[in-house]
Amino acid sequence: MSYKESFLSYLQFEKRYSVHTILSYDCDLTQFFDFMSKNEVAEVKDVDFKSVRKWIVFLMNEGNSSRTVNRKLSSLKSFFKFLLRESVVDTNPMDRVVGPRQGKKLPGFVAEHAMQLLREVEFGEGFEGVRDRLVVEMFYQTGMRLSELMNLKITSFDRGTSLVKVLGKRNKERIIPVSKGLEKLLDEYLEERNRTFEERSDFLFVTKKGVPVYEKLLYRIVTKHLSKITTLAKRSPHVLRHTFATHLLNNGAELNAVKELLGHSNLSATQIYTHTTFERLNKVYKQAHPRA
């Protein structure tokens, strides 16, 4: 087993990272060692500060954003930390490495009045139309990540308490309230689904062939219908997650409560949404206050 394979096994079985996260680590490390081999660095023990800096320059010249480069460096730091712990290397070449600076980009979100228009949007008739409406509303009303919604089971919902159980990053479980309106859409979808398919998947959302939905399909559904109500350049499931958080804060929700609903492990990840909230409050103040 190679050092990389040992590290990926460690992430899977000890750290219990998701398949998606492990694939990202695998891709980053493969790219790094391909670059190293082309630059005549054959052994992992031969990697030093200078060779890592060369890789950073290469990545930036290839047009990667600062954020992407820093994510790749984070993968590399974890890998060498693992090798140091396993006594494969004597020193960590990442100790002095500093990634490129990046400005915090504020998340895009759909305005509240635009989301109200969604109720008037035509989603089409039959199974796919009912499913697509539920997909978009569920992203907006729960703030789920794409992977979380994709992996929902019918049994994830507790109809007695109007709650849905979500399995988030690193298999962390959280509970999200479900509105009466969303429950109604869910009932309509399940009724249509039961009429359409004899064999029933455990997964909540399925394709027109009855198999579980996949990432590209969910992107396509969200992009298609958000295009009808907003001119935002980016119209992805994650934009609906940003919209969920921003609308909650704009309407007085506590930051800690939003953190729990989003499944963030620390408050700093949630605080980025307060920037858009403060911008809105500042605008209202300047427009409405006689001394502003």
Known catalytic residues? Answer: 145, 169, 238, 241, 264, 273
Closest CA to 256 of 240, 243, 273, 278: 273
Number of alpha carbons in the 13 Å side-chain half-sphere of residue 77: 12
- Three-state secondary structure readout of the chain: CCHHHHHHHHHHHCCCCCHHHHHHHHHHHHHHHHHHHHCCCCCHHHCCHHHHHHHHHHHHHCCCCHHHHHHHHHHHHHHHHHHHHCCCCCCCCCCCCCCCCCCCCCCCCCCHHHHHHHHHCCCCCHHHHHHHHHHHHHHHHHCCCHHHHHCCEHHHEECCCCEEEEECHHHCEEEEECCHHHHHHHHHHHHHHHHHCCCCCCECCECCCCCECCHHHHHHHHHHHHCCCCCCCCCCHHHHHHHHHHHHHHCCCCHHHHHHHHCCCCHHHHHHHHHHHHHHHHHHHHHHCCCC
- Residue 264: how many other CB atoms lie within 10 Å: 16
**Residue 288 to residue 255: CA distance in whole angstroms:** 25
- At 95, give phi and psi (nearest 5°): -55, -40
**Residue 204 to residue 189: CA distance in whole angstroms:** 10
